[in-house]
Structure 1
Amino acid sequence: MLGLYFSGTGNSKYCIEKFLQEYDPKAEAFSIEEEELPKKMEQHKELVFSYPVQFSNLPKIVRDFVNQHQQIWRGKRIFVIATMGLFSGDGAGILARMLQQYGAVITGGLHLKMPDSISDEKALKRPIEENRLLVANAGKKAAEAARNTRKGTPPQDGIGPFCHLAGLFGQRLYFYNRTKHYTDKLKIDSSSCIGCGQCAAVCPMKNITVVDGSAKSGDQCTMCYRCISRCPQQCITLLGKRVVEQCRLERYL
């Protein structure tokens, strides 16, 4: 088995690693940003794909990756892991259906509740101990799912027509445009920016550059919140007006 993932603040990477540790300790997981990943995927029949749900939908970067490599998916047996801050009816199902269109066989799905990664909104913020418990429970659930998958009874979270309706009417129908395109709404306060370049270094879209000692953003943000959770000056925002909490996974381990 080979693991592939997209992870903003570390949630989805953590969960796929916990799954693979139990399923096959020799199996490796790679970010979809790695250039050599498509070649590795061609060498494996079984895949597990982990990613964060955004507004009950796929991050744009994940959708583009799937479309760009559509020839690889045919005949692959794929288990889908979706991480989320709140309930998502078909978080795993939205990717499962897309992969099935390209000939993949979906073996199951897993929903894992993790700390919210939206750093500039108060709505889903929890005490740090509660987030630590979420992470611990997600790790246990991922390991249990791996054991059941190995036995031939993988979980089916988010798979099926009722889950599809729950996801559609839960958020996706109302917020579809949030993830349909990359966004140009990332804001960097130039008066606070020190030009350290940490945001540019972690951006998966190469959407941030440092010019004349200050970071500048473009119009290709995939809303992963890496830069916002990394900035030492907390001078980057996206959905909100100020950073409430920097939500990197290591805070909760």
Structure 2
Amino acid sequence: MGKVVGIYFSGTGNTKFCIEKFVSEIDANAICVSIEDKNCIKEIQDNNFIVLGYPIFYSSLPKIMKDFLVENKMLFKGKSLFIMTTMGLFSGDGSGLAARVLKEVNPEIIGGLHLLMPDSICDEKVLKKSHEENKQIIAKTNEKISFAANKVKGGLPTQEGLSKINQLIGLFGQRLWFGHKTKKYSSKLKINVEQCIGCGKCVKLCPMKNLMFTNSTVSQKGLCTLCYRCVNECPKQAITLLGSKVIQQHHSKDYY
């Protein structure tokens, strides 16, 4: 198998938690690096077995992840690739999304894995669950991660999301109706200037550098990748995206 490295994008922590656990169970010495990390490119270049992880938005790739793969696809040429995705409901072909983006450079796609995690869209009531229910979701996902890691070590990796049937499920599940929301970066982030205290936390956290201070308040550049990091971390619940009110902020670490 050779040396393993995890490469991921994680909005609110779900994918980071899952890929770190999965990779550590395959190789205790392996590391995981975010695509936001300056060392990410070098880690892809230096390793032949890559576990790629990302969340699913509307049965689609986050725009930031798709752009990263398109811009750096040649780095994956000749690599062995296992693709792991996280989601609040289902995706159909979550792992197949990245596989198709990288098809041109023909990496060896050895397997795929889909993992349910607590919902992180904190300004919509859909999929909201109690603290105990979220802990149960995490417990089941932990079991699935361990099972899948053992399958990889045994030479029979799981193949979730990689078939043509999975592609159709993803298309008709959400992507056909909502996939347009992830094709471009969004300018629909809403910041309540009366609630905003100008702490700057959101500006520092944004993976797209979409947010900035203007006249002591936060404004945006229209480059939101829908990751919900700022919405979940705002101490005054002053930021929304899909809804108009924060219902329940999501912090993955609360359920581990």
- Alignment TM-score > 0.5, same fold: yes
Aligned mate of 1:104, from 103, 107, 110: 107
Residue 177 (1) aligns with residue 180 (2):
yes
Q: What TM-score comes out, normalization by structure 2 length?
A: 0.97
Residue 3 (1) aligns with residue 6 (2):
yes
Q: How many percent of aligned residue pairs carry the same amino acid?
A: 47
**Which residue matches 1:69?**
72
Moved more, 89-98 or 233-242: 89-98
Code of the aligned partner of 1:125: K
Runs of 4+ in structure 1 off by over 6 angstroms are: none
Aligned mate of 1:25, from 25, 28, 37: 28
Moved more, 55-64 or 86-95: 86-95
Q: Which runs of 5+ in 1 are unaligned?
A: none
Residue 58 (1) aligns with residue 72 (2):
no
1:80, 1:42 → 2: CA distance? 17
Q: What TM-score comes out, normalization by structure 1 length?
A: 0.98
2:103, 2:251 → 1: CA distance? 32
Tell whether the 8 Å contact from 1:20 to 1:27 is kept in structure 2 after alignment.
Answer: yes
Q: Deviations over 1:79-102 (max 9, x none)?
A: 000100002111111112212222
Code of the aligned partner of 2:30: A
Residue 186 (1) aligns with residue 192 (2):
no
Tell me by how many angstroms 1:189 deviates: 0.3
Code of the aligned partner of 1:37: C
Residue 227 (1) aligns with residue 230 (2):
yes
Residue 39 (1) aligns with residue 42 (2):
yes
Aligned mate of 1:13, from 5, 16, 33: 16
Measured on the aligned residues, the alpha-carbon RMSD in Å equals 0.9
Tell whether the 8 Å contact from 2:6 to 2:52 is kept in structure 1 after alignment.
Answer: yes
Count of aligned residue pairs for this structure pair: 253
